[in-house]
Structure 1
Amino acid sequence: MTKNVDSREVKAPGQPDTRRRTLLKLTAVGIAAAGASVLPPATAQTQTQTGLPLTDKWDKVFKKSDRVEHRKVTFSNRYGITLAADIYQPVNAAGKLPALAVGGPFGAVKEQSSWLYAQTMAERGFITLAFDPSYTGESGGEPRNVASPDISVEDFSAAVDCLGLQPNVDRERIGIIGICGWGGMALSAAAVDKRIKAVVASTMYDMTRVMSRGYNDSVTPEQRAQTLTTLSQQRWKDAESGKPALQAPYNELKGGEAQFLVEYHDYYMTPRGYHPRAVNSGNAWTQTTPLPFMNMPILTYIREISPRPVLFIHGEKAHSRYFSETAFAAAAEPKELMIIPDAVHVDLYDRMDKIPFDKLTAFFRENLAVTA
């Protein structure tokens, strides 16, 4: 049965200011926000057998729980790209357990929000895996800081591959959690990959929608054509130089930005959530990253997730709330939309008093047939 935990009508958030909105339309149309910061450099790296330089330091943005065991793993996706991930499991875990793969937000790394979700759900009895997407963080892929909706969706399925090969995972009880832009990737992965038994999209963005149509679908056909012309011409420049040009650094505030961009900065560019490997922490995507997103709507087939369950979670005051509401409307039963009172978009990245972990636990325990 369809559930909408909070059915109160809430006034839609305002549009970004005109100057910033134009910039977002012509670049990644709002992948993140930004701000200058004086923070320590990346930790020392060590070389692994896979050839990926993985740090041997605990460099997550929160402390390690003494209720979970942690180890790093690597695995390859269908395109041969090696991904780096963290696996968490409850201390003294016994037998085959249900498992969750966690990804996101878009432009973040596994040491940020996905780590928090993964560790917390491991405390609650699940084996969890938080991964860096292809071309970012500690994962492989060249050039760096580029993204593809197809490869991103594949990364989720590859994470399911990895979990299903763990001797203490019940491969018939695997779910996924996608945060922010990876909420859309999680829905797309669940639609195509029938091994995924339940899916949660938290504070979801549909990256193909926002990049191709702008916030609140405000981009006109003329503006879209101009963006594609600009990106197409950039390909000549990249081909001539032999390397892709980068966008401006993300989340550097110059004044006058919309409130949600200030909130992104508060997460990614302060000690609250800053991580030197994250694209959103003052780094940048390649200029042509939006190209495949402009032409590939990833939520076309989300009705095919059914009869497996979907849980959407979003903040009442989030600028991005409409992504979850329209995806929820398009999804088939069983589905549920949970609105968190007074929460903005980034509150569901790390605010333990806002992220409904009890609800997440109950959802996956029920739908992954957890009896103990």
Structure 2
Amino acid sequence: MTDQNPESPPRPDTLTNAGRRGFLSLTGAGIAALGAASLLPSSNAKAQTMSETWDKTFPKSDAVTHRKITFANRYGITLSGDLYEPANRGDAVLPAIAISGPFGAVKEQSSGLYAQTLAELGFVTLAFDPSWTGESGGTPRNMASPEINTEDFSAAVDALGLQSGVDRERIGIIGICGWGGMALNAAAIDKRIKAVAASTMYDMTRVMSKGYNDSVALEQRTANLEQLANQRWLDAEAGSPAYGPVSLDLKGGEPQFVVEYADYYKTDRGFHPRAVNSNGSFTLTTPLSFMNMPLLSYIAEISPRPMLLVHGAEAHSRYFSETAFAAAAEPKELLLIEGANHTDLYDKVDLIPFDRLQAFFEQHLA
């Protein structure tokens, strides 16, 4: 691990065109890397019901208690979450952390692992499905919005603050992958959030509007927006949104970072039937609001509350955390994990720095 802000690694030649399949080459691979392209019947994205069985991608810990909760965001969408608490907490009033991500994942995957582990370390934690995904409500299914998904974090703070035994003045949040950018945006606007961490962070508005390493020129962006506008006509005529094919069904020749996504979402390591990236795809028009609503415009306003960015030193996405770190005000910390790629920080507990996350939140939610 290193605590510094080194120069970005050389840009892999594969990234410019990586994942640009079919229709969603228009997003500079922002969603294409997660598996969206041409049409698929909308039955691919049915609303889910709450599962009462343990269906996580990680084993249940005897050191915590777990229960499902639901709560509504400001737009009236009902969200589903897993609440984890230390089993031996007694009557203690504890700090709390809301957690979501990665982009296209569900709470039974990485965010749940983070939540359960941090509950073992003494926090009340809430891993939740964002609007339109997993067991949360909202139609049509499998879409995203920089504004509403930012609001989802604030709604999770609402839910934690209503729990008995949670100190409302000691609530933090963690965003993983694409929800790292949402978490930073939420912390900038919601002053109830006392500390924020982002792990293996993506700025989804940046990658969808500008492509990887900001490689999309104005002419490409204009063509992309024209294609999205035309897709709106097709959806309006059909009366329902179009979806891409099931995500990450690799054909061979994909860039390494796409292979790494598939190694998590499409194998026993991380597959979950409710996850968009494992078993579905986003609506083709999902990029629309991401194209001109930059998430991190006000990142400096997180200060004077603290920010921790954690990223794999070998991750293709490392530059997102480095530029966010440069734009943020103190107090801030960038922690690079040597030898780790982007998806390693989803679930590899020997690489995820839970000790540093524990110390960060213990200090700043004290």
TM-score of the superposed pair, with normalisation by structure 1 = 0.91
Instruction: Give the superposition deviation at 1:154.
Output: 0.1
Q: 2:124 aligns with which of 123, 127, 131?
A: 127
- 1:43 is matched with none
**Separation (CA, whole Å) in 2 of partners of 1:161 and 1:7:** 34
Equivalence for 1:364 = 361
16-25 vs 197-206, which deviates more? 16-25
Q: Aligned-pair distance for 1:248?
A: 2.7
Structure 1 Cα separation of the partners of residues 6 and 231 of structure 2:
45
Whether the aligned pair in 2 keeps the contact of 1:252 and 1:282 (CA below 8 Å) is no
* Corresponding residue SS for 2:175: strand
CA contact (8 A) 1:100 1:127 kept: yes
- Consecutive unaligned residues of structure 1, counting only runs of 5 or more, are 36-50
Within 5 A, what are the aligned runs for 1:157-236? 157-236=154-233
Distance between the aligned counterparts of 1:317 and 1:139, measured in 2?
33
* Alignment partners' CA distance in 2, 1:161 and 1:348: 27
Distance 1:180 1:266 in 2: 16
Q: Deviations over 1:325-371 (max 9, x none)?
A: 000000000000000001000000000110000000000000001xx
CA contact under 8 A between 1:178 and 1:200: conserved in structure 2?
A: yes
CA gap of 1:219–1:249, structure 2 versus 1, over 3 A, is: same
- 2:149 aligned counterpart, secondary structure: helix
Q: Which of residues 49, 57, 62 is equivalent to 1:61?
A: 57
After TM superposition, give the deviation of residue 290 of structure 1 in Å. Answer: 0.3
**Mapping of residues 1-372 of structure 1, within 5 Å:** 5-6=3-4, 11-16=9-14, 20-23=18-21, 25-27=25-27, 29-31=29-31, 32-33=33-34, 53-93=49-89, 94-369=91-366
* Cα distance in 1 between the residues matched to 2:154 and 2:344: 27
Q: Cα deviations across residues 264-323 of structure 1 (Å, max 9, x unaligned)?
A: 000000000000000000310000000000010010001000000000000010000000
- TM-superposed CA distance for 1:10, in Å, is 6.1
Q: Deviations over 1:216-235 (max 9, x none)?
A: 00001011001100010010
SS of residue matched to 1:312: strand
- Separation of aligned partners in 2, 1:18 and 1:172: 44
Counterpart CA distance in 1 for 2:115 and 2:328 is 25
Say which SS state the counterpart of residue 55 (structure 1) adopts: coil
Letter in 2 for 1:317: E
Contact 1:33/1:252 (<8 A) preserved: no
Structure 1: how far apart are the matches of 2:100 and 2:58?
17
CA contact (8 A) 1:17 1:257 kept: no
Q: Corresponding residue for 2:41?
A: none
Q: CA deviation at 1:7?
A: 5.3
Q: What is the CA–CA distance in structure 2 between the aligned matches of 1:196 and 1:236, rounded to whole Å?
A: 40
State the AA in 2 paired with 1:30. Answer: G
Shift of 1:79: 0.1
Asked whether the 8 Å contact 1:107–1:279 carries over to 2, the reply is yes
Asked if 2 retains the 8 angstrom alpha-carbon contact of 1:206 and 1:323, the reply is yes
Percent identity, please: 66
For residues 270 and 211 of structure 1, do their structure 2 counterparts lie closer, same or farther at Cα, with a shift above 3 Å needed? same
**Letter matched to residue 29 of structure 2:** V
Counterpart contact for 2:185–2:299, Cα < 8 Å: yes
How much does 1:11 deviate? 3.0
Q: Distance in 1 between matches of 2:336 and 2:329?
A: 19
Q: Which amino acid aligns with 2:144?
A: A
Query: How far apart, in 1, do the equivalents of 2:140 and 2:9 lie?
Result: 42
Write the deviation string for residues 76-114 of structure 1: whole angstroms up to 9, x where unpaired: 000000000000000121321000000100000000000
- 1:210 Cα deviation after fit: 0.2
Secondary structure (helix, strand or coil) at the match of 2:65 reads strand
| 1:34–1:253 CA contact under 8 A, matched in 2 | no
Rounded to whole Å, the distance in 2 between the matches of 1:135 and 1:108 is 12
Corresponding letter in the other structure for 2:30 = G
One-letter amino acid of the counterpart of residue 303, structure 1: A
The answer as to whether partners of 1:73 and 1:84 remain within 8 angstroms in 2 is yes
Equivalent pair of 1:184/1:204 in contact (CA under 8 Å):
yes
Q: Is the 8 A contact 2:105 2:275 kept in 1?
A: yes
TM norm structure 2: 0.93
Structure 2 gaps, min length 5? 37-46
CA RMSD of aligned residues (A): 1.8
Contact 1:69-1:88 within 8 A present in 2 as well = yes
1:12 partner letter: P
